[in-house]
Structure 1
Amino acid sequence: MLSLFTESGMLLLEVSLLAFLLQGNHAGGLEVLARTFAVSGVIVAADTLLKAIYILGFGVSLFADNHGTANHARWVLWIFHKLLLTAVYGFIFFMHHSKWRERLPARPAFYNYVSAMLLLNTMSLLGCLLAGNGAGFGIWLFNLALICYHSLYLPLLYVIFLADFFQEEDLRLENIYYSEMKDAGFFDDDWD
């Protein structure tokens, strides 16, 4: 159950980010947040319901492989899930190079994010396809992509979207002033 809620939370964050950024400057304030959470909530609720039916209704272990055997029902769901995510990121990525480019956000950081997530989901989809056919390398590749996703997703969001925000010119100037004052001896403890 913990894995199910963790996956749902990560998907909620991912879908919310995409829904928010794809709205652009068309709406303001609470309208944007309400629409973002409505879209995200419906998608994540459907995903969680499908996974809960698989786990509780059919007894398919989606998150842990206890027996080391290839469970085809497990891999069918993961292939469908990763194929859908890869298709969404691929559509956005290739839409950037089409005549509908002006409908997408103009921020370069958005395309860096989409490119990184397209690469990760493609790697995960390839792992699912290989594991579904019984290849042990596929399980390894899927698990590597899963570990990368869970451990590097939040740092990726910080680097792509927030790092520039926290390195504003005022913050850099304060660091420069502090270092100049420190070099001049203003912070020495010898005030005797």
Structure 2
Amino acid sequence: MPRIALYTFGVLKSPLADATPLTRAFYETGAAVYREIGRHPGYLAHAEPAGGEQGELFGADWGAWGDFAVPAWYGKGRTAETTALAATLSLWTGLRPAFDAVYTGLHRQALGRRHEWFERSGHPNHVLWWVADGVTPTWRDGVSGLEHLRDHGPSPRAFTFARAFAPDGTPVAAVRSGSGA
């Protein structure tokens, strides 16, 4: 049975290594969000480095998730001291569980603070795509999907919650709060 992959990407206003209270709040909120999402119905897994290296995204061992990658438009640092991005890659049983995890609970509260932490851009900040059972999506898959979404709009290959597709490629109603998708 196909599963849904979700890649998120945002450029932070400050590097991850910045010791300001705002960056600490981002880390603390993110840790709590990950704990909550990891218990969410429909959650299967997310990419995390083998050694748990916080802030060492580009040089970390991500195992089956592949080498860490970012969209072409990311132009900030790539070292532990200069990296200014937040990216996630996760696997879900379907669209509804992924949507519910993103738009409820602690993550929903964190979204309310996103403009404190992230730069505003004209680029998409998330992409979804279907993967076959037993397949682990890679960071490169996520970047490719996000760039495809930016260049071509939603399609069965790369889509959003608002313009989603079923595993067979047919459009589905937008996934929204209270909808059954």
Q: What TM-score does the superposition give when structure 1 sets the normalisation length?
A: 0.26
Q: Which has the larger radius of gyration?
A: 1
More helix by share: 1
Q: What TM-score does the superposition give when structure 2 sets the normalisation length?
A: 0.27
Greater relative contact order, per chain length (Cα 8 Å cut-off, separation 6+) = 2
More strand by share: 2
